[in-house]
Structure 1
Amino acid sequence: FVFSLFTFIQIQRLHKLTRLPLFARERFILVLLSSIILFGLVIVFLQLLVKAIMSERKSREQLAIANEKLRQYALKIENIAALEERNRIAREIHDSLGHYLTVLNVSLEAAWKLRKSEPQESIEFLADAKQLGSKALNEVRQSVAALRSNWWENQSLESAIATLIADFHKSTGILPTSNINLNYSPDNELKIAVYRIVQEALTNIYKYAEATTVEINIFTTKNLHLIIQDNGKGFNLNQNTTGFGLQGMEERALALGGKFEILTSPNTGCKIIANFPLVTIN
């Protein structure tokens, strides 16, 4: 509008100068056209400047909103990380101590019952209990060390599982059969997950299953597969899924992108299946 008004005023001035000589009118027209073009450029520049200022203000507002959302997301991630760390520590405490304390309690109960009728055998159970107490203390130390460093660096999965089997055999008289066939060397995170799942499964078998045979199979195809099977009394999944042990085993598998499944029913034994993607090994 301003540009149109300016142009109209200049044209009116041009009509009043018709009595001037031709060269004067031509010069005036040239100056007039230059003024119109210059004024138009100034108007365009001002429009672009205002648009740039408005765009910058809008960008700043959007950036402030994005920063606030980013801050909120960071707080959420921090809270989730803290929760995951607490859960990890809880699993370590439960899995490391639960196994040995269960066996320790049974050994002490057996020693108490045999203290009068079979004192020598009672002493043997007490010796076993003392050894289990030492192992439990060592497990606590290893769990604390695991939170600080990779204490699995020089520990193979095969030897760790063999120790669990030996302890289970000594406590129950049942010797689990095991078949470990790995084409890849698991990393520490995966070794710990497999070890803890086997440990918790053996603890549950010891406490509840009343089994006479136990099979442990660990092998690799496109995934790493863990299968633990017993011929015990089994249980109803709908009534036995609230225990922290079962939840902890599933969480360990899911944390590494794996899958966890329990196949059981009353009087049919129990099969625990955990599959881990091969990428977690590499």
Structure 2
Amino acid sequence: MSRPVPWIPVVLYGAVLLGGVYYAVIGPGPGARTAGYVALLGALIALDRREWRVTPGVVFALRVVLLCGVAVLDESGLSRVLFVLVPFLAFFAYGPTVAIGLGIGCVAALAGAFTLSVPHWQVRAEYIGDLLMFALGVVLALAMAAVAVREQQARARLEGTLAQVAELSAARERNRLAREIHDSLGHHLTAIGIQLEKAEAFASLDPESSAQAVSHARWSANRALEEVRASVRTLGPESESEPAGLSRALADLVHHLDGGSRRITLRTSGVERRPLLVLYRAAQEGLTNACRHSAATDIRVDIAYDERGARLEVADNGVGFDPADEGFGLSGLRERVRLAEGTLAVDSSSDGTVLTIEVPW
């Protein structure tokens, strides 16, 4: 585990270094021990200034060895405070259990050192105070390490959550664009194909109908290009690209698909409060499937408005399909309807298919 607060050891090293040098200057005077003291503290600072490509245990053991060397060369007694770093650093390298054990060991080692070097230290207030302050420092170091680890874990979880949100947002946008391409371009390409077939069939028999079919195909191509440009321009919520009027947009769709061996009728009732793109796409999907796959000769599009919302029904007399074979278009439409808090129902048999959508305002 990496150490989230690398500045703490460096600050302690620096403070002890300045304090020890100051004590040597005003006391016995700088000498070889002072030079060694400074060199070892410099090595500790350098050790904590970079990441080492070795196991954490090796670096931790090297720190402990250097700390012991500093304590041996220290004439001021200040270096004992550095040993609070032993449980602090062990917390990141080995976990809380080992760190607490080492913290207890450091307090016990200081008490043992007092026992060996200071007669009757147990009845001297300054040494008892030093031991208590050192024990308090160990507790604070462990608490700080625990807080730092929890903060690091929380940050990692947050980053993971943000990455998941970004991935889900990107996936949702990709799905939305895929639905737009399928529902918009797919419909218009179907319409172009139908009208060009009609134009080819009537080219010699009815030039006027053939020319009209070519005109309808050209309209569908232009409409497809406009919708592609709108999608590229906005790349935003679906409501930004809703048609200006659902009834008028559906009338255009029916007008450019009707004709030949196929009859399409459109009926509307009620008052349209606002355009609903999901119903426009539903009508496109229903008409596209009826014209491309069902071999229908009669298609009916009914839309009704009331105070609660709108209801669209696309019915044909085609050959129907197996609901288990539902394709991308219908599955994408189900997602659109779900996001609009509406309902979708498909009833298909050999006598035809009825697609029903209800969406609230």
* 3-state SS in 1 of match to 2:172: helix
Tell me, yes or no, if structure 1 residue 72 matches structure 2 residue 160. Answer: yes
Paired residue for 1:196, among 262, 281, 287? 281
**Distance of aligned partners of 1:59 and 1:257 in 2 relative to their CA distance in 1, 3 Å threshold:** farther
* 3-state SS in 2 of match to 1:174: strand
How high is the TM-score relative to the length of structure 1? 0.69
Tell me, yes or no, if structure 1 residue 179 matches structure 2 residue 269. Answer: yes
* 3-state SS in 1 of match to 2:264: coil
**Distance of aligned partners of 1:218 and 1:40 in 2 relative to their CA distance in 1, 3 Å threshold:** farther
Deviation at 1:121, TM superposition (A): 2.9
Name the counterpart of 1:51. Answer: 139
Tell me, yes or no, if structure 1 residue 83 matches structure 2 residue 163. Answer: no
**Paired AA for residue 207 in structure 2:** P
Name the counterpart of 1:116. Answer: 204
Name the counterpart of 2:290. Answer: 205
* 3-state SS in 1 of match to 2:227: helix
Between the aligned partners of 2:136 and 2:342, the Cα distance in structure 1 is 57
Q: CA RMSD for the aligned pairs?
A: 3.6
- 1:1-282 to structure 2, matched below 5 A, reads 47-147=135-235, 151-152=240-241, 155-169=244-258, 172-181=262-271, 185=274, 191-209=276-294, 210=296, 212-219=298-305, 224-233=309-318, 234-238=320-324, 240-241=325-326, 243-275=327-359, 281=361
> Does the aligned pair in 1 maintain the 2:251–2:266 contact within 8 Å?
no
Between the aligned partners of 2:292 and 2:229, the Cα distance in structure 1 is 25
Between the aligned partners of 1:65 and 1:56, the Cα distance in structure 2 is 14
- Structure 1 residue runs of 4 or more that deviate by more than 6 Å after TM superposition: 38-44
Percent sequence identity over matched residues?
25
How high is the TM-score relative to the length of structure 2? 0.56
Between the aligned partners of 1:39 and 1:257, the Cα distance in structure 2 is 74
Deviation at 1:62, TM superposition (A): 1.4
> Does the aligned pair in 2 maintain the 1:176–1:215 contact within 8 Å?
yes
Between the aligned partners of 1:79 and 1:139, the Cα distance in structure 2 is 26
Name the counterpart of 2:91. Answer: none
> Does the aligned pair in 2 maintain the 1:158–1:180 contact within 8 Å?
no
* 3-state SS in 2 of match to 1:228: strand
**Distance of aligned partners of 1:42 and 1:217 in 2 relative to their CA distance in 1, 3 Å threshold:** farther
Deviation at 1:237, TM superposition (A): 0.5
Q: How many residues align?
A: 244
> Does the aligned pair in 2 maintain the 1:211–1:230 contact within 8 Å?
no
**Distance of aligned partners of 1:128 and 1:231 in 2 relative to their CA distance in 1, 3 Å threshold:** closer
Deviation at 1:57, TM superposition (A): 0.7
**Distance of aligned partners of 1:247 and 1:193 in 2 relative to their CA distance in 1, 3 Å threshold:** same
Between the aligned partners of 2:166 and 2:127, the Cα distance in structure 1 is 58
Return 5+ residue gaps in structure 1 as ranges.
12-31
Return 5+ residue gaps in structure 2 as ranges.
1-107
